[in-house]
Amino acid sequence: MEDWRDLAGTVPGTLMLVADGATGLLETVRTAHRKLAACARVLRILEMGGAINAADLQEAPSARASLDDARRELARLLELHGRARRAFDLYDVLLGLGDEPRWRRWERHSGETSRHARHALRGLRSATSHLLAGRNALLVARSFPHLSADWTAWVSAAQNLLRLAMWASAMAIFATRQMLGAVKVELEDAWMVFFLLDRYP
């Protein structure tokens, strides 16, 4: 039984790691969003016939790298969170905590953390897909004479795809913020459940 208690004792610490990681993740997603906005500005200049420089062209790969970093970090946090949840679930199987209000509260908030994390992940994937599709539209535009009707149509399509990428990254920011709030509440609940376990032999 002591081994089970030790396992349960790792849950609050693991959730603290998830909360800390989510704080950093939020900044990474915001950075990706800013880079997508910079890409959109470059496309607007291009669409209006303006000139761009080599540095402007680096925004898209930089945005992609930030989105990839955020997606990898979120996958890591989901794995950590899943481990914490499984540890407490094992305790529930052993002790039958299902009717305990503090357990149900923790379970509800744990589910909210997971749900918000999955929404954030979906937003990051969508932002990446739209960014890549926008890049492909720009590559097609390059095959037409500059400022021709076809060129303009493809640049406009790229701009629309980039707007969708920005929308998806904004949704990822919102979901990450929600995830961070949920895991903080879940952490408080986890401590309450852990102290509750002292009542069991």
pLDDT (0 to 100) of residue 133: 95
pLDDT (0 to 100) of residue 201: 54
> For the chain (length 201 residues), average pLDDT per consecutive 10?
64 90 96 92 80 60 92 96 84 69 86 97 97 91 89 92 97 97 92 69 54
Collapse the DSSP code of 111 into the 3-class scheme (helix H, G, I; strand E, B; otherwise coil) and give the result.
Answer: helix
pLDDT (0 to 100) of residue 138: 86
Residues 181, 11: Cα–Cα separation, whole Å: 17
Instruction: Tell me the CA end-to-end span of the chain in Å, nearest whole number.
Output: 8
pLDDT (0 to 100) of residue 62: 87
- Is the CB of residue 154 less than 8 Å from the CB of residue 137? yes
pLDDT (0 to 100) of residue 119: 98
**Torsions phi, psi for 196 (to 5 deg):** -60, -35
pLDDT (tens digit, 9 = 90+) per residue, 106-123?
Answer: 889 999 999 999 999 999
Which amino acid, 19? A
**Encoding tokens for residue 9?**
């004792």
pLDDT (0 to 100) of residue 99: 76
| Residues contacting 197, CB < 8 A, separation 6+ | 5, 8, 91, 95
